[in-house]
């Protein structure tokens, strides 16, 4: 199939940036990133600058591949990262607009590559959990209810891709931050530092320039791992309790 691409090009964070039109031949079995590889081969053969984009695992695990495709983070396929999006979801002659995951806290480094180190700062602000790091304890030594364990596991599936921030009109990182708080705060091992962790991560999130959450729900809709906004409600409850001296 022949596709008409309209790609955002930006030399660096200080460059104004512009859209650039290209045509590329692809097959339905290609992933979106493989299609981008084909385009870059064409550009290199034509002695032109290839399009910079992030990728690593190409297995939907690392979260580095996030780009906005036709206005949607990771593209039109629900629950799918860009690297796992296949070209069979497009048709011959389609026009595809490809942009970086724009946000005030995600400055563009080059083309489709953005700086998501603000996420790293939020995670680092969360610190560690107080557990014995000696010999591995028996798996059943700390009984945890199945429902609670599953909620923590669901939150822990967040890959930090930034789709929630790119989808939010306010550029909020509440879904990401709440997932990182929840997957530790729901388990006994994470409750010791829970109060400090909540306050520190929320403060860092605000410091990094992310917007406020207004409960639109676009973050949940575009999250490739289906992280629930129930985690945001939990974060709000935990934060209020920590500030006003409620339960930790």
CB neighbour class for 221 (10 Å; exposed up to 12, middle 13-18, buried from 19): middle
Confidence at residue 141, expressed as pLDDT on a 0 to 100 scale: 72
The CB-side HSE value for 56 (13 A sphere, CA atoms) comes to 9
Alpha carbons 148 and 80: distance in angstroms, whole number = 26
Q: Tell me what pLDDT residue 192 has.
A: 86
Task: Annotate 191-206 with b (16+ C-beta within 10 A) or e (fewer).
Answer: eebbbebbebbbebbe
Which residues sit opposite 95 in a β-bridge? Answer: 4
Instruction: Tokens for 66, please give them.
Output: 């996030």
Residue-level pLDDT at 172: 97
What's the whole-number average pLDDT of the chain? Answer: 93
Containing H/E element for 160? none
pLDDT for residue 187: 87
Give me the pLDDT at residue 207, please: 97
Angle at 201 between CA 198 and CA 202, to 5 degrees: 80
Domains of the chain: 2-109 (3.10.20.30), 116-243 (1.10.1060.10)
Burial class (CB in 10 A: 0-12, 13-18, 19+), 106: buried
Residue 191 is predicted with a pLDDT of 86
**Res 58: pLDDT:** 95
Q: Is the pTM of this model over 0.85?
A: yes
pLDDT at 133: 65
pLDDT at 136: 66
Low-confidence residues of the chain, pLDDT below 70?
131-133, 136-140, 246-248
């Amino acid at each position: 199939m022949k596709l008409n691409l309209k790609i955002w090009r930006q030399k660096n964070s200080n460059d104004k940036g512009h859209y650039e039109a290209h045509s590329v031949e692809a097959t339905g079995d290609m992933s979106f990133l493989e299609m981008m590889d084909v385009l870059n081969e064409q550009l290199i053969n034509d002695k032109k600058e290839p399009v910079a984009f992030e990728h690593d695992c190409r297995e939907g695990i690392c979260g580095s591949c996030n780009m906005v495709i036709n206005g949607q983070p990771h593209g039109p396929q629900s629950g799918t990262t860009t690297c796992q999006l296949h070209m069979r979801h497009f048709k011959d002659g389609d026009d595809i607009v490809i942009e970086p995951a724009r946000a005030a806290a995600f400055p563009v480094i080059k083309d489709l590559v953005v700086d998501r180190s603000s996420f790293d700062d939020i995670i680092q602000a969360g610190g560690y959990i107080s557990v014995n790091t000696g010999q591995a304890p028996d798996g059943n030594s700390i009984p945890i209810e199945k429902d609670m364990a599953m909620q923590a596991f669901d939150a822990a599936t967040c890959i930090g891709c930034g789709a929630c921030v790119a989808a939010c009109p306010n550029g909020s990182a509440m879904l990401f931050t709440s997932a990182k708080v929840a997957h530790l705060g729901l388990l006994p091992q994470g409750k010791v530092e829970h109060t400090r962790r909540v306050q520190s991560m929320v403060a860092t999130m605000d410091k990094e320039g992310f917007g406020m959450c207004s409960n639109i729900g676009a973050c949940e809709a575009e999250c490739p791992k289906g992280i629930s906004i129930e985690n945001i409600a939990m974060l709000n409850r935990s934060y209020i309790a920590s500030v006003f001296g409620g339960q930790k």
